[in-house]
A and B are shown apart, each in its own frame.
Chain A
Amino acid sequence: QKEVEQDPGPLSVPEGAIVSLNCTYSNSAFQYFMWYRQYSRKGPELLMYTYSSGNKEDGRFTAQVDKSSKYISLFIRDSQPSDSATYLCALASYNTDKLIFGTGTRLQVFP
């Protein structure tokens, strides 16, 4: 079993839709939770990070963590064609700097 599971998609939605991207994990030692966006042939770009269960909002993006279920989500409101990219969840535990990434979900937002 992989430490982090993420549906690879692709996920195709119309402009303006609410998008939900999800990851599950198996190791309860994970304490830091991050979402990265990666455009084709570019490096990952940090979108959001959080430490605790609950929601964190930044503009059109909301990160949600449920430690009891080992489940994290990223919601994108009013999605735009420019949001078309691969979204990667990344997790880390207290005792290491190593990020464990999901496989990424490819999102396409069509006009």
Chain B
Amino acid sequence: DTGVSQNPRHKITKRGQNVTFRCDPISEHNRLYWYRQTLGQGPEFLTYFQNEAQLEKSRLLSDRFSAERPKGSFSTLEIQRTEQGDSAMYLCASSLSADTQYFGPGTRLTVL
């Protein structure tokens, strides 16, 4: 399968713990995006990388959130000191251009 992959698919954690998610983009794609989706809503943009450079961050991305894309390949999204409001589906997408972003299956986070 050459699509976007995300791990883990599900994560249950206790409030206050740190969690890290991984995204592996489609191999030739130089752009990588993180979005968050809550029930009944469309995805909301969090941040975006072109190669290893983080070019844009949403105001939704508080200082508890950090994303990296070392060497312009896979990316990680870390949430520190998780809160119940962080419970959501975290989606990763990759592309060669803005208009054709291909999404992975997502990581569903539940914070107890």
Contacts and interface: CB of A to CB of B under 8 A. Distances in A.
B21 interface: no
Contacts, number: 64
Interface string A72-111: 0000000000000000101010001111111110000000
Given A32-B99, A42-B105, A97-B31, 14 more contacts: A32-B98, A34-B99, A34-B100, A43-B91, A44-B43, A45-B103, A46-B103, A90-B42, A92-B98, A97-B95, A101-B44, A102-B42, A103-B40, A103-B42
B101 interface: yes
A94 B43 CA distance: 20
Determine the interface band of chain B, counting residues with CB < 8 A from chain A.
20 to 34
Interface string B34-62: 01000011111100100000011010000
Contacts of A102: 42
B25 interface: no
Nearest to A44: B103
Contacts of A98: 45, 48, 56, 58
A88 B42 contact: yes
B48 A97 contact: yes
Contacts of B41: 103-104
A61 interface: no
